[in-house]
Chain A
Amino acid sequence: MSQPVLVAQNLTKTYGKNVIFRDISLSVNERDTIVIVGPSGTGKSTLLRCLNLLTKADSGKIWLDGVEITDPTRCSEDECRQRIGMVFQNFLLFNHLTALDNVMIGLTKVKKMPKEQARRKAMEELERVGLIDRAGHYPGQLSGGQQQRVAIARALAMEPRVMLFDEPTSALDPELIGEVLAVMKQLAREGMTMLVVTHEMGFAREVANRMIFMEKGQILEEGTPDDLFERPKYERTRQFLWKIAELHGRKAAEENG
C-alpha cells in the first residue's frame, strides 16, 4: 500500500448561511492521480483552497505526510504551502516577472536558494514543461497554454509533495488545452501525486486512478474512472459524467472537423 500524502477529515466550509461543502473526507496517496468532477458551485475550488490553507475551513482536520497542518503549533502555514503545489484556473503568473523569474522567485525568496542554483533549477523545470525557449518572456507575451505550463513549473520548482490543479484548462482556448494536459500526463507518469479538479473526461479516464464526484457540497460517489463511467451507483453520476463527456467530445469534434 502506498503512503497517504494528504488526508482531509470532515472538512466543512460555510460563508455566512451558505454551506459550500460539509463533512468532506478524502485521502490522497503517494503517486495517486485523483480527479474531482462535479457541477459548478459545488465547492470543488474552495475545497482545493482549503487543502492548502489558502482558505480556512470552518472545521475538520488536514494532514500532510502525517502531520496535522490545520494545527498551527505543528506546522506554519507558509511552510505547509511550500509542500503543496497549486495551479489555478487563470494561471496567476506574476505579471511583472519573466517566465524564468516566476519559477525562480519561490526558490530565492522562500527557500533562500543561491541565485545561480535557483536559476539552474528553474531552467530544469521550464525544460520539463517544454518552455526553455520562453524563459525570458513575460506572461503578457505568452499564450494561455504557455502561461499555464510556466505556472506548473513554478509550482514544481518548490518540489511539492502533492500538486493541486484547479480547473487548469478551463480558461484555455480549445487548441491550447492539449499542451497543458500533456504536461500533466507526463507528471502523472513520473509518479507525482496529484489532485485535479477538471472537466476533461478524456484525461480522467486515461490518467486518473481514482475519481470523485462532488455535488451540492458533498462527495456523492468515488471510485475508479471505470466504476464511475460504467457502473455508477447513482444515476445522477452517470448523467453528469456522460453529459460533460459528450459536450467535450462534440466540441473536440467540431474543432477537428
Chain B
Amino acid sequence: MLIEFFRYIAAGTATTLAVTLVALPLGLVIGLTFALAHVYGGKVLTQVMRLYSTLMRGMPPILLLFILYFIISGSINLSPFWAGSIALGVVSSAYQLEILRGAILSVGGEQMMAARAIGMSRLKAIRYIILPQALRMAIPPWSNEASIVLKDSSLVYALGVAEILRRAQQLSATTQQPFMAFGTAALIYFILVFTANRLLDYVSQRTRIPANPLG
C-alpha cells in the first residue's frame, strides 16, 4: 500500500517540478533585468524598482498568486498551470531582484571603473566584468530562493493544479489516512529540495574563483 501511496503522489512530482522550472527562470529573467535597472537605471527607474520590490515582498505569496492569477487569466486564456507558474515567477522575481542587486552592489563600482578605464562601454562592463562575478556571488542566496520557490509551488494547488500537495490531499480524503498521505508528500518535497540544494552547492564550488596561492 505504501508503494501505491508513493506512486500516486509522486505522479504529481512532474507537475511540481514543471511549475518550479517555469517560475524560477522567469523570476530570474525578470529579477535580473530589474536588478540591473535598479542599480544602473538612474533615479526614476531605481524608484520604480524599489516600489515594485517593496510591494511584492510585502504581501503573502498566496495572496499575490490569487491576484496575479485573476489578472492573468482574466486578460488571456491560460490554463491554471501556466497562470499559476507565471504568477509564482513574478512573486519570486522580487526576491531574486534583491538577491541579484545585493550581489551586483557587492562586486562594487570600482570593478566598473576599472572596466571603463580600458575603454569598455557600460554594457560590456556589465556583461563581461560585473555579471560573471555577481552571478557567482548570488548562487548561495539564490539556492535558498530556489528551494523556497520549489516549496511555494505547492501554492498552485489552490488553483486546482494537480501537483504533489493536491494529490496528497485527494489521497488523504479518499483513504482516510492523512498522516500517510501528507507524510509521503513531505518526504518527496524534502528529497527534491535536498537534491536541488546539493546540485547548486556543486555549481557554486565548480565556479568558485581560485584564491589560494598555487605557489
Please determine whether B116 and A54 come into contact, CB atoms closer than 8 angstroms. Answer: yes
**Contact A138 to B210, CB < 8 A, known contacts A82-B119, A96-B133, A158-B119:** yes
Task: Considering the complex, give the chain A residue whose CB is closest to the CB of B110.
Answer: A92
Please determine whether B212 and A82 come into contact, CB atoms closer than 8 angstroms. Answer: no
**Contact A141 to B210, CB < 8 A, known contacts A81-B119, A109-B120, A109-B128:** yes
Please determine whether B118 and A158 come into contact, CB atoms closer than 8 angstroms. Answer: yes
Contact of A154 among B118, B121, B211 (CB under 8 A): B118
Q: Which residues of B contact A155 (CB under 8 A)?
A: 117-118
Please determine whether B119 and A106 come into contact, CB atoms closer than 8 angstroms. Answer: yes
Please determine whether B128 and A105 come into contact, CB atoms closer than 8 angstroms. Answer: yes
Task: Considering the complex, give the chain A residue whose CB is closest to the CB of B124.
Answer: A109
How does the 8 Å CB contact mask read for A115-159 relative to B, with 1 for contact and 0 for none? 000000000000000000000011011000000000000110010
The bracket for how many chain A residues form the interface is 20 to 34
How does the 8 Å CB contact mask read for A45-88 relative to B, with 1 for contact and 0 for none? 00000001010000000000000000000000011011001101
Task: Kindly state whether residue B115 has any CB partner on chain A within 8 Å.
Answer: yes
Task: Considering the complex, give the chain B residue whose CB is closest to the CB of A136.
Answer: B214
Please determine whether A81 and B128 come into contact, CB atoms closer than 8 angstroms. Answer: no
Chain A min CB distance to B40 (Å): 16
Chain A min CB distance to B90 (Å): 31
Task: Considering the complex, give the chain A residue whose CB is closest to the CB of B132.
Answer: A96
**Contact A94 to B114, CB < 8 A, known contacts A106-B120, A109-B128:** yes
Chain B interface, number of residues (Cβ within 8 angstroms):
23
Task: Kindly state whether residue A224 has any CB partner on chain B within 8 Å.
Answer: no
**Contact A95 to B118, CB < 8 A, known contacts A110-B124, A137-B214:** no
**Contact A78 to B119, CB < 8 A, known contacts A95-B133, A141-B210:** yes
Q: How far is the CA of A81 from the CA of B116 in the complex (A)?
A: 7
Q: How far is the CA of A90 from the CA of B120 in the complex (A)?
A: 19
Q: Which residues of B contact A141 (CB under 8 A)?
A: 210-214
Q: How far is the CA of A88 from the CA of B108 in the complex (A)?
A: 15
Binding site for B on A (CB under 8 A): 52, 54, 78-79, 81-82, 85-86, 88, 90, 92-96, 105-106, 109-110, 137-138, 140-141, 154-155, 158
Binding site for A on B (CB under 8 A): 110-111, 113-121, 124, 128-129, 132-133, 136, 209-214
Complex A-B, nearest 9 residue pairs according to Cβ-Cβ distance, in ascending order: A140-B211, A82-B119, A92-B114, A106-B118, A86-B117, A81-B119, A110-B119, A138-B210, A96-B133
